[in-house]
Amino acid sequence: MKFILVRHGETEANIGGIYSGWTDFPLTEKGNKDIQATARALKRYADIDIIYSSPLNRALSTAKAISAAINKEIQVVPNLKEMNFGIFDGKEREYIQKNHSSEWDSWLKDYVNYRIPQGENLLDVYDRIVDFIEMLIEKDKSCIIVTHGGIIQTMITHLLDLGLDKMWHFQCLPAGYVEIEYVDNFGYLRRLEHCN
């Protein structure tokens, strides 16, 4: 089976250095243009069974463009939302460092275990993503998953059987995608594309 992991197009938060998490920012003009290129590139995956998408509009807009290009159904999955950054959500790094310096320092020291106030830690994210992936593996159907950068990094580490501390080795830019082939409980990284 194949997992095609697609990151949503560029948003105002991406270019502004804002932690968007569960706060929804619209796609930029470039983001809208880039997702059309990604949708065209994904036509090569005729064997895909379904598209799964985060409910956040930046991902769902991307999923709709892909769905129109490849004529596949979209199923919205709440577990595919980006990490909930709690008190950091919707704010720029400089603001967070100035107004939440203690929390910022704690998060940087232990980003896996430290739960941002009113938000999640990386283990929370990992648990909800693993639940979703294991359900997909049981179904054994190839799919496109439209989601967010941190979620894609988390999925890659799980599917390639790596530790969460390795997630930073993988970067999927806005409107980019990753192809992972999964055979006999073993993941193979086949492609990492940036269509912008």
Q: Which of 8, 100, 103, 120 is catalytic?
A: 8
Q: Is 8 annotated as a binding residue?
A: yes
**Can you tell me the distance from the alpha carbon of 165 to that of 50, in angstroms, rounded to the nearest whole number?**
30
- Running DSSP on this structure, what letter comes out for residue 172? -
16 near 42, Cβ under 8 Å? no
Q: Is 11 annotated as a binding residue?
A: yes
Q: Is 9 annotated as a binding residue?
A: yes
Is 8 annotated in the active site? yes
Is 82 annotated in the active site? yes
Q: Is 13 annotated as a binding residue?
A: yes
- If we measure between CA atoms, which residue out of 91, 90, 113, 88 comes closest to residue 102? 88
What are the backbone dihedrals phi and psi of residue 19, each rounded to the nearest 5 degrees, phi first?
-75, 105
Q: Is 93 annotated as a binding residue?
A: no
Q: Is 7 annotated as a binding residue?
A: yes
Q: Which of 82, 103, 120, 179 is catalytic?
A: 82
Q: Which residues are annotated binding-site positions?
A: 7-14, 58
- Provide the annotated binding site for substrate: 7-14, 58
Q: Provide the annotated active-site residues.
A: 8, 82
